[in-house]
Amino acid sequence: MTGTVEKRAVLAAFDDEEQLVDEHAGVALIEHPFQGYLNLRLDPANDVLGGAVANVLGVALPAVPNRTAQGDGVVVYWLGPDEWLLRTPSEDDMTVFGALSGALGDHWHALTDISGGMTHIAVGGEAAAAVLAQGVTIDLHPKVFPAGHCAQTVMARSNVLIAPTGDAGNAFDVFVRRSFADHVLTFLRDAAHDVGYRFSRKAL
């Protein structure tokens, strides 16, 4: 009965759309589907837990608000004083989940797989910041918001997590809950009206 499981990307309804202005896409919108997302909550005052997590991830959980950390095959985003988002390359690879669960054992924590509930839209190009700034109120300037930072904010009335992917101020990762992703992409395409956009999906 079971063959291969055919997955459907969150933004499958928008396959390969583009709307150029003078043959130019001021912004590239790229969905990176099917990554792993783990929500981790634990008591930051418990050094045992912090150490155990650092062992597994190869990097300590960022303690400074709105910072990211790059571990072994995992990117960690600070979400709150006791909450982090872990991003791994594939939702099907439960290695990190298993290792963390093992390391944290019976200590009070919550490690929750939310891979199906998130997607990732990379927003890049010369107009990237100008397009995002139509929807978010935070300062996207690389002096203020350089690589290694992240911020949870509201874009087009949807909760999003934004992280710059360089210091040039022209590339950002946007993470959004599945059910809001259509709306956020609709907003981004509309916001790119005067500069043009190209939407695509990263092949697996």
Partner 1 sequence: MSQPNRLDSGGRIDRDRPVHFTFNGARLSGFVGDTLASALLANGVHMVGRSFKYHRPRGIVGSGAEEPNAIFQLDEGAHTVPNPRATQVELYDDLVARSVNCWPTLEHDIGVVNGWFSRLLPAGFYYKTFMWPRSLWMTYERYIRKAAGLGESPMAPDPDRYERRNAHCDVLVVGAGPAGLAAALAAGRGGARVILVDEQNEFGGSLLGSGDSIDGVAAGEWVGRITAELEAMEEVTLLPRTTAFGYHDANFVTLNQRLTHHQPVRARTGCRERTWRVRAAQVVLATGAIERTMVFGNNDRPGVMLASAVSTYINRYAVLPGRQAVVFGNNDAIYRTALDLAAAGADVRAVVDSRRDAGGQWRSAAVERGVPVKAGCVVSRASGGRHVRAAEIYRLGDDGLGEAEDVIQCDLLAVSGGFSPAVHLHAQSGGRPVFDDARLCFVPGTSVQAERSAGAARAVFDLAGCLSDGAAAGAAAAREAGFDAGTVPEFDTAVVAGSPVEAMWLVPDRVAPGRGPKQFVDLQNDTSASDILLAAREGYRSIEHVKRYTALGFGTDQGKTGNINGMAILAGALGQSLADTGTTTFRPNYTPVTFGAIAARDVGPELFDPVRRTAMHDWHVENGAKFEDVGQWKRPWYYPRSGESMRDAVNRECLAVRNRAGILDASTLGKIDIKGPDAAAFLNMIYTNAWNRLGIGRCRYGLMLGEDGMVMDDGVTTRLADDHFYMTTTTGGAARVLGWMEQWLQTEWPHMKVYFTSVTDHWAVMSIAGPESRKVVERVCEGIDFSSAAFPFMSMREGRAAGVPARVFRISFSGELAYEINVPANCAQHVWDAVIRAGSDFDMMPYGTEAMHVLRAEKGFIIVGQDTDGSMTPIDLGMDWIVSTKKDFLGRRSLSRSDCVRTGRKQLVGLKSRDGVTVLPEGAQLVNEPSDATPVPMVGHVTSSYFSAALGHPIALAVVKGGLTRMGGSVHACTLDGRRIECEITSPVFYDPQGERMKQ
Choice from 26, 27, 87, 91 touching partner 1 (CB under 8 A): 91
8 binds partner 1 (CB under 8 A): yes
130 binds partner 1 (CB under 8 A): yes
Task: Rounding to the nearest 10 degrees, give the CA dihedral for residues 71, 74, 79, 80.
Answer: -50
The CB-of-199 to partner 1 minimum distance in angstroms stands at 15
Stretch that binds partner 1, among 54-62, 96-104, 110-118, 120-128 (CB under 8 A): 110-118
24 binds partner 1 (CB under 8 A): no
100: CB partners within 8 A, 6+ apart: 38, 40, 53, 56, 57, 86, 111
Q: Helix, strand, coil % (nearest 5) of the chain?
A: 25, 35, 40
Q: Nearest-CA neighbor of 138 among 126, 150, 148?
A: 150
114 binds partner 1 (CB under 8 A): yes
Closer CB to partner 1, 12 or 58, in the complex: 12
Rounded to 10 deg, the angle between the 47-57 and 95-104 helix axes is 150
The CA distance from 134 to 173, in Å, is: 16
Q: Which residue has the tokens 């210091």?
A: 167
The CA distance from 192 to 26, in Å, is: 7
87 binds partner 1 (CB under 8 A): no
Choice from 24, 108, 167, 204 touching partner 1 (CB under 8 A): 108
Choice from 49, 103, 163, 191 touching partner 1 (CB under 8 A): 191
12 binds partner 1 (CB under 8 A): yes
Q: Which residue has the tokens 């509930």?
A: 117
188 binds partner 1 (CB under 8 A): no
31 binds partner 1 (CB under 8 A): no
The CB-of-134 to partner 1 minimum distance in angstroms stands at 5
The CA distance from 31 to 15, in Å, is: 10
Closer CB to partner 1, 2 or 72, in the complex: 2
Instruction: State the residues that interact with partner 1 by CB under 8 A.
Output: 1-10, 12-13, 33-34, 39, 41, 82, 91, 108-110, 112-118, 130, 133-134, 136-139, 141, 144, 156-158, 177-180, 182-183, 186-187, 190-191, 193-194
